[in-house]
Amino acid sequence: MGVDVLIAEDEPSILDSLDFILRRAGFSIESVTDGDAALAAIRRQRPRLVVLDVMLPKRSGFEVLKQIRADETTRDLPVMILTAKGQAQDRQIAEELGASSFITKPYANAEVVGTVKRLLAEAAG
C-alpha cells in the first residue's frame, strides 16, 4: 500500500519539521534526502503526492520532476516544489516542467499543509 506523501529534502531540520506537520495533518509519510532516492521511492512506494526540494544532492529536484512527467505511470502525480531560490526564473522552469505548486522558503507551515491538502483533493477529483 502506497504512502500519502513522499518528502525529498536534504536539510535534516527542515525534513524533520515537514515530516512532523504533515503527519499531524493525518498523512502517512516517507522521506528521502537525494534525487536518485526520490525516483526510486516514487517507483517503489507509489506516493499520492511528492514534496520536492529543488537543490537535492545527486539529481536536482527539477531533474526528478522531469522524469516524473516523462514516465507514463507517474505523469499525473501531484508535485509540490520547494525552493530557497525564489527567483522568477526558477518558478518559470518549475511551471514549464509541470509542477503542481511552487512554494518558496521560508514558508509558513500552514501554507505547506494547506497546499498538500488542496492538491490531494484536486487529484482525488
- Asked if 11 interacts with other proteins (CB under 8 A), we say yes
* Residues 8, 49 contacting (CB under 8 angstroms): no
DSSP, collapsed to helix, strand or coil, labels residue 28 as: coil
**Contact flags string 44-63 toward other proteins, x per CB under 8 A:** -----------x--------
Helix 61-70 / helix 88-97 crossing angle, nearest 10 deg: 20
Tell me the closest approach of the beta carbon of residue 55 to other proteins, in angstroms. 7
- Asked if 67 interacts with other proteins (CB under 8 A), we say no
- Asked if 14 interacts with other proteins (CB under 8 A), we say yes
* Residues 54, 91 contacting (CB under 8 angstroms): no
Instruction: Give residue 97's Cα distance to chain centre.
Output: 13
Tell me the closest approach of the beta carbon of residue 57 to other proteins, in angstroms. 13
Binding residues vs other proteins (CB under 8 A)? 11, 13-14, 16-18, 20-21, 24, 55, 84-85, 105-110
